[in-house]
Structure 1
Amino acid sequence: MSVSIDIAGLRPERVAIVPSPLAELGMALHALSEPGHHPGLQGWVTSVTARLDSHLADRMCDADFLWRTTFSDLFLPCAGVPGRTTLPGATLAEDLDLLDKLTDEQFADSALEFTCAPGYDLPGPGVLSDPDLRRRALDLAAMRGPRQVRFTRRLLDDPPRVRAWVRQFLEDCDEAFFADVWARVRHPLAADARHKTELLHRKGLADALASVSSAVALDERATRITVDKLVEGRTATEDGGFLLVPTSLGRPHLLVLHRYGWQPVVHYPLSSPELASPPSVEQLTLRMTALSHPVRMRICRLLARSAYTTTELAQVHGMTAPEISRHVGVLKKAGLITTRRRGRYVLHQLDVTAVARLGSDFLEGILR
């Protein structure tokens, strides 16, 4: 599974790597709502939550579905501006001005994307103009509680009023906690954007994408970008541009804006030298499948303690050598065991480090 971006005909000057204060605010709100996704931010979350004004905290709950699951495309409004080449603003105020440029239909569809977006990457009617989508939005909102019902009904009945409410709320968040966050992270974000832009100009798009994440790749013909994720999606730059937006708060999320008619955006976390490259979805699937068989689990138990030959494993388990070889082959293909030769014998041993990382790798894979 993956999200693909068709970039055939994309001019080099239409590729931009730019931080976005509004996108970073969206990620900050997400971290505050789902701190379990971001263990490295626990201290910051605790500090902000402790001093948060109760009225602002209540308003944060009123619309948390805009950023709790992940964050809404509303936090990257530059992608929805006609022409599909607009860059994020240099300040939060400039980004909020871009948000004001979205039509009511764009605003409503983006705000309700996690509850009623039947054709996210396909053309279709909007929730404000289609009675069936409107009913569906209210029905699905009812499953998520009265707060979301109230917000959804207000949005459907009076989009300008809700837009003003959202802008005021985001400005209040900036005053309460985000201005300090942005002052701290904007320089590392700008430095990362400059570095990747230089890499783009010197070595090309493939190398720039590889520096973003091992999950982002350019095909051999340089016409398609593929982002390895547990979702399917597709979009195209067509006659617009392509944006890469860094975040300091986003790991482990690697987000792809692929809404139909909007400029494609990859919102990526800053890399850290101490963090290993995440496995691909295919690798994760292989590893989880390999460990789902009881015989292979018992083999792993032995190989965690010592190195064994195929013959020794066959004797311990009362199976034939070919049967054991097949199980060992599955574990080896999944990258869970290592082999080494000692004379004429081949010894197998569990890669304890790889197995120990399975939990965090799985979590990163499903949150990516």
Structure 2
Amino acid sequence: MSVHIDITGLRREDIAVVPSPLAELGMALHALSEPGHHPGLQGWATGVTARLEPDLADRMCEAEFLWRTTFSDLFLPAAGIPGGTTLPGATLAEDLDLLDKLTDEQFVDAALEFTCALAYDSHGPDALSDPEVRRRAVDLAASRGPQQVQFTMRLLDDPPSVRAWLRRFLQDCDEAFFAEAWSRLRHQLAADARHKTDLLRHKNLAAALASVSPALALDEAAGRLTVDKLSEGRTVTADGGLLLVPTSLGWPHLMVLHRYGWQPVLHYPISSPELAAPPSVEQLTLRMTALSHPVRMRICRHLARSAYTTGELAQAHGMSAPEISRHLSVLKKAGLITTRRRGRYVLHQLDVTVVARLGSDFLEGILR
């Protein structure tokens, strides 16, 4: 399962690495709504939440489905401007002006992304013109409570008023907590953007992407960029470009905007505590599957305590050596055990460091 971006014909000058204050504000709102996703930000989130005025806190709850899951594409409006070459604004005000340039259909579809489950990377009916899509949007919003239903109804009945409401809300968030955070974060983001841009100019796309995330795989011959995620999707750069937007608040999320008709965007975390080479989704699946078998769990119990030969494990578990070998092969393929030779004997032992990381690796994999 991956997201594929067709980059056939993409030139270096068509790739831009640009911070976005609006995207960073979207990630800040997400971190405030789901602090469990971002353990490193829990202190900051607690401090901000404690200082929020009650009215602003209520409004934050009113439309939290725009940023609770990750955050809506509305926070990257540059990608929705026709032509596929528009860049994010240098200031929040400039980014909000780009948000105003989206059509009502774009605005509503992006706002309903998480509650309506519209077709994302293909063209489909929109909620403003299709009664069935509208009904489904309201039904799904109901599962999130009466506030979300009211907001969705307002969105469907009067998009301009919701646009004005959202702009005012985001400006109030900027005044309440984000301006101070952005004054600290923007220098780090700008430095990262310059570094990636230098790699593009003086080396190549492969070097720049390798510095973005090990979850990216470039196949230049096929003209394809693959993002290792537990989701599926496809998009093309076509006549537009590829936009890379760094975030200081985003780890472990690596977001790929691949909405139909929008410019592809990689929204990637910088300065993250992730491993230099975190496991791929495929490798993570292998590890979880390997440990799900009761016999292999019992074998791991032995191998966690000491190194054993195949024969010793066979005797301990009342199984044949070939049976034990098959289980050891699964564990080894998953990267969970190490082997070493001592004379004519081969000793197997559980890599407890890898197993200890599985919890955080699993969380990173499903949140990526």
TM-score range, shorter chain: over 0.9
| One-letter amino acid matched to 2:304 | A
| One-letter amino acid matched to 1:266 | L
| Structure 1 range deviating more: 52-61 or 116-125 | 116-125
Partner of 1:169: 169
Question: Does residue 347 of structure 1 match 2:347?
Answer: yes
Partner of 2:204: 204
Question: In structure 2, what is the Cα distance between the partners aligned to 1:223 and 1:191?
Answer: 28
Question: In structure 2, what is the Cα distance between the partners aligned to 1:203 and 1:325?
Answer: 46
CA drift of 1:119 comes to 1.1
Partner of 2:325: 325
| One-letter amino acid matched to 2:359 | G
Partner of 1:247: 247
Partner of 2:232: 232
Question: Does residue 52 of structure 1 match 2:52?
Answer: yes
Partner of 1:258: 258
| One-letter amino acid matched to 1:305 | R
Query: Which secondary structure state, in structure 1, belongs to the residue aligned with residue 307 of structure 2?
Result: coil
CA drift of 1:320 comes to 0.7
Query: Which secondary structure state, in structure 1, belongs to the residue aligned with residue 114 of structure 2?
Result: coil
Partner of 2:358: 358
Indicate conservation of the 8 Å contact 1:109/1:117, yes or no. no
CA deviations over 1:266-315 (Å, ceiling 9, x no partner): 00000447744321110010000000011100111111110001111111
Question: In structure 2, what is the Cα distance between the partners aligned to 1:106 and 1:137?
Answer: 15
Partner of 1:270: 270
Question: In structure 1, what is the Cα distance between the partners aligned to 2:149 and 2:77?
Answer: 24
Question: Does residue 99 of structure 1 match 2:94?
Answer: no
Partner of 1:143: 143
Partner of 2:72: 72
Identity of aligned pairs, percent?
A: 82
- Tell me the matched-pair count: 368
Question: In structure 1, what is the Cα distance between the partners aligned to 2:356 and 2:160?
Answer: 51
Change (3 A) 1:272 1:67: closer
Question: In structure 1, what is the Cα distance between the partners aligned to 2:103 and 2:220?
Answer: 38
Partner of 1:303: 303
Coordinate RMSD, CA, aligned: 1.0
Indicate conservation of the 8 Å contact 1:8/1:223, yes or no. yes
Indicate conservation of the 8 Å contact 2:251/2:272, yes or no. no
Query: Unmatched 5+ residue regions in structure 1?
Result: none
Partner of 1:25: 25
Query: Which secondary structure state, in structure 2, belongs to the residue aligned with residue 354 of structure 1?
Result: helix
Question: In structure 2, what is the Cα distance between the partners aligned to 1:273 and 1:74?
Answer: 28
Change (3 A) 1:194 1:288: same
CA deviations over 1:22-75 (Å, ceiling 9, x no partner): 000000000000000000001101110111111000000000000001100000
| One-letter amino acid matched to 2:79 | A
Query: Which secondary structure state, in structure 2, belongs to the residue aligned with residue 277 of structure 1?
Result: coil
Indicate conservation of the 8 Å contact 2:304/2:350, yes or no. yes
| One-letter amino acid matched to 2:100 | D
Partner of 2:16: 16
Indicate conservation of the 8 Å contact 2:109/2:118, yes or no. no
CA drift of 1:222 comes to 5.6
Change (3 A) 1:274 1:158: closer
Partner of 1:126: 126
Question: In structure 2, what is the Cα distance between the partners aligned to 1:139 and 1:30?
Answer: 24
CA drift of 1:149 comes to 0.5
Indicate conservation of the 8 Å contact 2:252/2:272, yes or no. no
Indicate conservation of the 8 Å contact 1:6/1:224, yes or no. yes
CA deviations over 1:93-137 (Å, ceiling 9, x no partner): 110000000011100000001111331100122111111111111
Question: In structure 1, what is the Cα distance between the partners aligned to 2:275 and 2:311?
Answer: 37
Indicate conservation of the 8 Å contact 1:212/1:271, yes or no. no
Change (3 A) 1:193 1:153: same
| Structure 1 range deviating more: 56-65 or 204-213 | 204-213
Partner of 1:42: 42
Partner of 2:81: 81
Question: In structure 1, what is the Cα distance between the partners aligned to 2:273 and 2:62?
Answer: 38
Question: In structure 2, what is the Cα distance between the partners aligned to 1:58 and 1:143?
Answer: 19
Question: In structure 2, what is the Cα distance between the partners aligned to 1:176 and 1:278?
Answer: 36
Partner of 2:218: 218
Question: Does residue 113 of structure 1 match 2:123?
Answer: no
| One-letter amino acid matched to 2:91 | T
Query: Unmatched 5+ residue regions in structure 2?
Result: none
Query: Which secondary structure state, in structure 1, belongs to the residue aligned with residue 246 of structure 2?
Result: strand
| Structure 1 range deviating more: 56-65 or 10-19 | 10-19
Query: Which secondary structure state, in structure 1, belongs to the residue aligned with residue 282 of structure 2?
Result: helix
Indicate conservation of the 8 Å contact 1:313/1:324, yes or no. yes
| Structure 1 range deviating more: 356-365 or 212-221 | 212-221
For normalisation by structure 2, the TM-score amounts to: 0.98
CA drift of 1:9 comes to 1.1
CA drift of 1:344 comes to 1.2
Query: Which secondary structure state, in structure 2, belongs to the residue aligned with residue 230 of structure 1?
Result: coil
Query: Which secondary structure state, in structure 2, belongs to the residue aligned with residue 120 of structure 1?
Result: coil
